[in-house]
Each structure stands twice: as C-alpha cells, then as structure tokens.
Amino acid sequence: MPRFEPDLQYTVSALSNQTDQRYKSLKEFDYIVVGAGSAGCVLANRLSADAANRVLLLEAGGRDLNPWLHVPVGYFKTMHNPAYDWCYLTEPDEGIAGRQLQWPRGKVLGGSSALNGLLYVRGQPQDYDRWSELGNNGWSYDEVLPYFKKSEDNQRGADHFHGIGGPQKVSDLRLRRPIAEHFIRAAEEQGIPFNEDYNGTVQEGVGYFQQTAYKGFRWSTARSFLRPARKRHNLKVVTGAQVARLLLDGKRVTGVEYQHGGSLQQANARAEVVLSAGAINSPQILQCSGIGDTRTLSVVGVEMAHHLPGVGKNLQDHLQIRLVYETSERTLNDELNNPFKQFMVGLQYALTRTGPLTLAASQVVIFTRSSTAAERPDIQFHMQPLSADKPGDGVHPFSAFTASVCQLRPYSRGEVRIKSADAFTYPEIHPNYLSDERDCNVAVNGIKVARGIASAPALKSHIIRERVPGGEYQKDEELLDAARNFSQTIYHPTSTCKMGKDDMAVVDERLRVHGLQGLRIADASIMPEIVSGNTNAPTIMIGEKAADMILADNCG
Ligand SMILES: Cc1cc2nc3c(=O)[nH]c(=O)nc-3n(C[C@H](O)[C@H](O)[C@H](O)COP(=O)(O)OP(=O)(O)OC[C@H]3O[C@@H](n4cnc5c(N)ncnc54)[C@H](O)[C@@H]3O)c2cc1C
C-alpha cells in the first residue's frame, strides 16, 4: 500500500459533521446539496465561496480516507467494494442476451469521480449545440466552453480550449508501453489521423488520453473542489447521510429528510435544494418523494406530490464491446502476474509516482466513424495494454491487450424505476441496451473497425490471435451475437432527469424542476442526450454552470 506525502494526505476531519461547532445544531441553510459527487462537490465549493451563503452538503457515503481512493489504479480495489460503491446490478436485459451488469457508482466523498477511470474527455461541440437546439438556451458549445475552462488546471497550459488555475487538475499519462504505440501506428495506417488533443479543435483521431490526476495522484472532485473549501465556516459537510425524501409545502421544496447515525433527521433550505445524487439516485429520490410518473408511483404505493412522467426515463449509457488480442509482445499482464515485477511496480510508484499504479482506465483513445455514412465520429475506442475478463478482475495469464469499442450516441433508451416506497431499497435499472436496430448496426461495424486496426501492418505481426470474441464470429449476425454476449458498461449512465421543454423533460434550461419551486438538479442525469465521450468532465461543467445560475437567480 502506498504512503502519502504529508501535503497530499487528504485529512477530511473538517469535512465531517463535526465541521464547525457553530453549525452543529443548525437545521436551516440557504442551500442544501444532495450528493458529494462530480457535480455536488463543485456546487458545494462555488455556492459557499460567498461567506453569506450557508451551505449543507449531504453525502450518503463516507470520507475518502482509504489510500486506494487516491492512487489512480485504485479503482481495482474500490470498484465493487460496498464500502465505496453502491454496487448496483441491472435487471436482466434482452439486448445483451439476458445478462445483468454490475453498475458501480461512487458512494464516498467525490462520488464516482473517486473511483472512476480518470479519463478526461468532454465530448463533441455538436453535442452541446444539439442540447441548445433542443430548446435549452445557454448550453451551446460556445456557452459551456468557459465552464470547462473555469474548472480546469491543465498541465499543458492554457489555450482557446483549456484553462489553468482551476481546481480540477488534468495531466498527461505517466505510463507508456510499446504495444500502445503499435496500436496508434496501426490506427494511422487505417487512415485515422493522430490527434494530440481530442478536447481541442477536433475530436476525431487517435492519441493518448489525458487524466484527472496530478503528480501520480487521483484528483477526484473531493480532492479538487471540496478540500479547498473545507475550512469555510459556512459549509457543513455531513457524510453517512442518505437523503430519503424531499420535504414539500405544496409545490415548494423546503428541505430534505435524511438518515444519519441511525435516525431520520430533517434540514431546511431557505433558498434551494440541489439534487446531485447522480443518474440513478436523483430520479430515485424524486420518485420516493412522490415526484414522477403517476402510474409508476401508484404501483408501489407512493403518495403523489407532482406528476412528472419523465423522471427516471430516457436512461442512456455507453456499451462497450471488448476485443482481447493475445500478443507476442509483452504487455502489462506479464508485469502484473509476476510477484517480483509487482514489487518493482510498487517501488517505481513509491519513488517516482510513475508506472502501472498511475494507470488510468485506458491509455489510447480513438474517436472515429463506424461507416462512411456517419457525419462525425460515432464510435470511441479505449485501448489498454492489459486484459481481464471484465474491468476490475485479475489480468489474464498471457500477454494481451484490450481494444473496446463503444457507440457514442446510442438510440436505445432505458429506465430507472423504484420498486418500493422505501428510499433504502435499490431501484430497478433497465438499460435496454441494443434495443434499437441502429445501435445494433453500429455495434457490428465497430467490431469490423477494430479488426481492421488489428490487421494493419504495425500491429498484425505482434498479434497471436483474437481471444475475444474470437475468429469464429464472422458474419454480421454472429458479430451482433458477440456484441450481445461480450459487452460491458463503461459506467456512463445519464439523462434520467433530462433538461428540456418537452413532456418528458424534468428540468428546464436553468435546471429547475418543472412545476416545482426551490428544487434544481445538477448532475449527469440532466443531460438531454448523452455526450460523445466519457461523462465526468461534462458533469463537472454542469456543476459549474448550475452554481453560476443558482447564484445569479438568488442574488438581491
Ligand atoms: C467505475 C467508473 C469508471 C468511470 N470512468 C470514467 C472515466 O474514466 N472518465 C469519465 O469521464 N467518466 C467516467 N465515469 C463516469 C463519471 O465518473 C460519472 O459520469 C460522473 O462521476 C457522474 O457524476 P454525478 O455527479 O452525476 O454522480 P456521482 O459522481 O456518482 O455522485 C453522486 C453522489 O451522490 C451520492 N448520493 C446518492 N444518493 C444519495 C442520497 N440519497 N443521499 C445522499 N447522497 C447520495 C453518492 O454517494 C455520490 O457520492 C466512470 C464511472 C464509474 C462508476
């Protein structure tokens, strides 16, 4: 287990419910933020920057004291660990051969940013322009770019697309392996251009990921946004506090009821409650509070407070199809399976903060098109110089790399639905993967693009064979079968409380819940459509913009 340098030791005693004696007995705040995840920590910081605002941040999980939460590769230890992960399991899903998938979600200060794959990706400008075209004024790319830059402190410096001096550290990888270089050359041989910065002028191309890390440590939003605010006397952070329901006075949300230390407690918000509990829990809290589709709620016996049929609907995710190639070139599998090399890996990290322990979930990224018909990149590759049966499992006992491909803008839509009025019972998650024929076509073509790269000269001579799905899968219907059987989530659920103007929208363009006062939602659930890339940076941006709007709307 790595030791921490004193200045990086994240002591959060000030973040517990003993934060400030002056606030210990307080039950009334200006703002209550529910969930200290990617968006919630941003909100807690920005809203409490003005000492006149009294802010309460409630987090169901605990403090982030485990060192593995701060070592980049620590997700292998924290994912699927109920101490830090909600450990959701999806319902059996016809589109993926009836399988159920584990859906980790962070349950700790930092939320999912504390156990995610660290990949820093914003998506395509057209994603945000599309949000704006759907009627969400203020969300075009030009309008959200300043918020991406505001949060950012990029190791490469500032330019038109990037910021420095923000709380969120973004840096280059501290690990390179030859097989990754071969993969990049092979992609170039297939006509995919090298791209130094997929968050810059264009997204399309092949290159190395940037990550939310600094000097070899993970930079979760707890680390980046919460820690600098921890000494503010007007911010109270309570961990181990799970919000059960919202308190309503007619159509006005006045506070929350939460479980803490074995008892139910209440806190009141004079201005607003902000739900930042993520794409599973934000709709769940709404539904348990009687806000949702009348039919869904009446089935489980929740008393209706406000009919809002879109709550929990419109669920989207990126489904990745993982291809595993056995290689003659040695990969990280060989290092991680050898006790002596494992020791050296630990030593390298201890001495230089480099090497495999700084591993983000992937090294090489490709954004490209699954067919010539695609107007812009519609698939993304994550390439890792290692392989396992599934993320978080031990690596294979042979040299291999993984190239997973996902569709960036799936058409399939799922749902999150409570199955009990009890706020502590997990909701049902129905992803409905590959339920739209267009997604099936992209899945098949994505495997073909992957095989094209694997057969390019720069890579072919290093490959012994395709292990997963394997050469026996050739015809289109067989490839679709492979997609249904060998796919996994990339952990990007979004859009269950979508922003918009239509009947299924849950929040408006200022993230206020339709038809209610005193309640906003700011997290991955508000995305009208999932972005073309990983979802952490966009969610931090949502937190930044939400804070700005809340402060503007409540001034004076
Ligand atoms: C394993 C994994 C790997 C990922 N890899 C990447 C990646 O490499 N790059 C990337 O960009 N994205 C990645 N993601 C996705 C990204 O991290 C999420 O999209 C993002 O963190 C979502 O932020 P959020 O604020 O919506 O929710 P979260 O960050 O999940 O925060 C929600 C918070 O609310 C708390 N909460 C929930 N319910 C309650 C309640 N009732 N009361 C009080 N608190 C509550 C939770 O405990 C949690 O702390 C990954 C996610 C996971 C899980």
> Of the listed 80, 430, 492, 514, which one is catalytic?
492
- What average pLDDT does the segment 268-278 reach? 98
User: How high is the pLDDT of residue 359?
Assistant: 87
Alpha carbons 244 and 541: distance in angstroms, whole number: 27
Q: Which ligand 1 atom is nearest residue 362's CA?
A: 8
309 or 393, higher pLDDT: 309
Ligand 1 binding pocket includes 391 (Cβ within 6 Å): no
User: How high is the pLDDT of residue 478?
Assistant: 98
User: How high is the pLDDT of residue 389?
Assistant: 86
Ligand 1 binding pocket includes 491 (Cβ within 6 Å): yes
DSSP 8-state secondary structure symbol assigned to residue 512: B
CATH assignment of 174-208+319-407+432-491, among 1.20.1260.10, 3.30.410.40, 3.20.20.80, 3.90.950.20: 3.30.410.40
- Taking 80 as the threshold, does the pLDDT of residue 281 lie above it? yes
User: How high is the pLDDT of residue 486?
Assistant: 94
- What average pLDDT does the segment 203-213 reach? 98
- Centre of ligand 1 to C-alpha 493, Å, is 9
- Centre of ligand 1 to C-alpha 112, Å, is 3
Alpha carbons 174 and 355: distance in angstroms, whole number: 6
Q: Which ligand 1 atom is nearest residue 542's CA?
A: 25
Q: pLDDT tens across 72-81, in order?
A: 999 989 999 9
Ligand 1 binding pocket includes 534 (Cβ within 6 Å): yes
Alpha carbons 203 and 369: distance in angstroms, whole number: 11
Confidence of residue 532 (pLDDT cuts 50, 70, 90): very high
Residue 492 annotated as catalytic: yes
Say which residue the tokens 């992803």 belong to: 431
Backbone angles phi, psi at 345, to 5 degrees: -60, -45
Report the SS3 class of residue 380. strand
The DSSP element (H or E) to which 217 belongs, if any, is: strand 217-218
Return the axis-axis angle of helices 178-189 and 437-454, rounded to nearest 10°: 110
Q: pLDDT tens across 233-261, in order?
A: 999 999 999 999 999 999 999 999 999 99
- Taking 50 as the threshold, does the pLDDT of residue 521 lie above it? yes
Best CA proximity match to 199, nearest among 250, 271, 270, 141:
141
- Centre of ligand 1 to C-alpha 158, Å, is 27
Q: pLDDT tens across 2-47, in order?
A: 333 323 333 333 333 334 444 444 578 999 999 999 999 999 999 9
- What average pLDDT does the segment 286-303 reach? 96
User: How high is the pLDDT of residue 1?
Assistant: 40
- What average pLDDT does the segment 138-152 reach? 98
User: How high is the pLDDT of residue 218?
Assistant: 98
Query: Are the CB atoms for 231 and 14 separated by under 8 Å?
Result: yes
Pure H helices in 275-372: 278-288, 294-300, 332-336, 339-352
* Closest C-alpha to ligand 1, atom 35: 35
Ligand 1 binding pocket includes 357 (Cβ within 6 Å): no
Return the axis-axis angle of helices 476-486 and 437-454, rounded to nearest 10°: 100
Ligand 1 binding pocket includes 273 (Cβ within 6 Å): no
Q: Ligand 1: which of 69, 76, 87, 116 to mutate, most ligand atoms within 8 Å of CB?
A: 116
User: How high is the pLDDT of residue 394?
Assistant: 84
Average pLDDT, the chain: 94
Report the SS3 class of residue 494. strand
- What average pLDDT does the segment 145-149 reach? 98
User: How high is the pLDDT of residue 26?
Assistant: 59
Alpha carbons 329 and 311: distance in angstroms, whole number: 49
Best CA proximity match to 50, nearest among 22, 33, 30, 26:
30
* Closest C-alpha to ligand 1, atom 24: 278
Alpha carbons 540 and 273: distance in angstroms, whole number: 18
Cβ within 8 Å of residue 338, ≥6 positions away: none
User: How high is the pLDDT of residue 503?
Assistant: 97
- What average pLDDT does the segment 389-396 reach? 81
Ligand 1 binding pocket includes 539 (Cβ within 6 Å): yes
Domain boundaries in the chain?
27-168+212-315+414-426+493-556, 174-208+319-407+432-491
What are the helix and strand counts (H, E) for the chain? Answer: 15, 25
Ligand 1 binding pocket includes 226 (Cβ within 6 Å): no
Alpha carbons 535 and 493: distance in angstroms, whole number: 9
Q: CA torsion 73→79→81→84, rounded to 10°?
A: 90
| CATH number for the domain whose boundaries are 27-168+212-315+414-426+493-556 | 3.50.50.60
The DSSP element (H or E) to which 10 belongs, if any, is: none
User: How high is the pLDDT of residue 490?
Assistant: 96
Query: Are the CB atoms for 446 and 438 separated by under 8 Å?
Result: no
| E strand intervals along 499-545 | 519-521
